[in-house]
């Protein structure tokens, strides 16, 4: 092989390596963003459950405080 063929082969290998890194980076970023959206969704769900529980507690306390009506 001549020097130019070796250099071309090396350049092609470097290009393929960089191309693969770009694809892997994009995939990793998509996974990271999906995980972030999942956390946000779970947080919102837990917040809604917590607020509903607190409201039930307030209603129960108000009913207990007022006692049975006669």
What tens digit of pLDDT does each residue of 8-22 get? 999 999 999 999 999
DSSP category for residue 13: H
DSSP category for residue 68: -
Average of per-residue pLDDT across 30-44: 98
Long-range residue pairs from 21-29, CB within 8 A, at least 24 positions apart, any chain: none
pLDDT above 90 (res 69) = no
- Output the pLDDT for position 68: 65
Side-chain half-sphere of 55: how many Cα atoms within 13 Å?
A: 6
Average of per-residue pLDDT across 31-42: 98
Average of per-residue pLDDT across 23-50: 98
Q: Cα separation of 19 and 26, whole Å?
A: 11
The pTM of this model reads 0.62
Tokens 């990271």 appear where?
A: 32
The residue count for the chain:
70
């Amino acid at each position: 092989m001549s020097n130019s063929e070796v250099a071309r082969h090396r350049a092609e290998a470097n290009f393929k390596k960089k191309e693969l890194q770009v694809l892997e980076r994009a995939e990793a970023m998509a996974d990271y963003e999906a995980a972030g959206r999942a956390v946000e969704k779970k947080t919102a769900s837990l917040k809604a459950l917590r607020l509903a529980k607190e409201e039930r507690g307030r209603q129960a306390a108000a009913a207990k405080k007022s006692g049975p009506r006669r």
